[in-house]
Amino acid sequence: MPNIVVSNFINERWVDRLYQNFNKSVYLLKPDGKVDPCKVKKVKSKYYLTSTGKWFNSAGLRIDEPAGLVKSEIEQAETDAKFQKLKQTIRGN
């Protein structure tokens, strides 16, 4: 059985939560202690969006989709992420 993380118990219920490794990769931890294989990307400087459509704040807690965040901003974040990945590939990092 996986280890259950007590910090995923908030307001008398078990919740999904984002965490970050020492290498700064962000992952989604389910209430049962298993890591969800979804992709997580940073949107703006304080929001995260998973490939399953769940939104999280910078503390890793689940939130509703941020008001006023337009689709073009999400597309820009995706473009920026692709550029950063390409830059890392070219540099060999």
Q: What digits encode the pLDDT tens for the residues 10-24?
A: 777 777 889 888 998
- Rounded distance, CA 44 to CA 33, Å? 28
User: Does 1 map to a domain?
Assistant: no
Domain contains 40: yes
Q: How many domains does the chain have?
A: 1
Q: Is the residue at 77 inside a domain?
A: yes
Mean pLDDT computed over every residue of the chain: 82
pLDDT at 40 over 90: yes
User: Which domain covers residue 51, as residue numbers?
Assistant: 6-91
pLDDT of residue 67: 75
H-helix or E-strand spanning residue 62:
strand 62-63
3-state secondary structure of 9: strand
Please indicate, yes or no, if residue 12 is contained in any of the structural domains: yes
Secondary structure (H, E, C), 31-48: CCCCEECCCEEEECCCEE
- Give me the percent of the chain exceeding a pLDDT of 70: 85
Q: Is residue 17 part of a domain?
A: yes
Domain presence at residue 59: yes
Closest to 73 in 3D by CA, of 38, 93, 43: 43
Task: Indicate whether 20 belongs to any domain.
Answer: yes
What is residue 46's predicted lDDT score, i.e. its pLDDT? Answer: 86
Q: What was the pLDDT predicted at 38? A: 92
